Amino acid sequence: MALDTTTFDLHRSLPLKPEKLWEVMTDPKHREKWGGPDAETVLVVDAADLRVGGQDRHRCGPADAPEFVVETRWYDLTGPERAVFTETLIIGGEPICTSLVTYSLTAAGPGTELGVTVAVSSFSGPETLEDFKQGWGGGLDNLERHVAAITADA
């Protein structure tokens, strides 16, 4: 079977300074609040090791059964400007896809311009690629809502 691949870029303008946005994007407690692909999906961080070479493991899915596993390995943590990591999505013990992700945070007035570049390879067919892209888009929509709640509380 042929390997299916794609690359996509997503961008958001967020009203937090890069240092604070970096914290929101890398701290496990914050990631649990915004990292799911939609409002019905939870993200549970089981292990977090935020350092170059460190590995994270989290599960996502419905609140009553977050069974999709994501394994993350960190390759570059130049905070608060850039993070580079891989993620492998595992369903039923089988890897479904692996991605290389780059976060780019650039100060813009009182906030930050966030760029996310994702290169993904699917081992389970081309439909996984669009699902993965939609998941990242939904996650960044959740990030916008989470940031709005943080700034409203400040």
Q: CA 59, 76, 54: angle at the middle one, nearest 5?
A: 45
Beta bridge partners of 72: 56, 87
pLDDT tens digits for range 26-75:
999 999 999 999 888 999 999 999 999 999 999 999 999 999 999 999 99
Q: How many domains does the chain have?
A: 1
Is residue 4 within 8 Å of residue 122, measured between CB atoms?
A: yes
User: What 3-state class would DSSP assign to 40?
Assistant: coil
What's the CATH number where 56 sits? 3.30.530.20
Q: Which domain holds residue 99?
A: 4-153
Q: Is the pTM of this model over 0.75?
A: yes
**β-pair partners for 122:** 4, 97
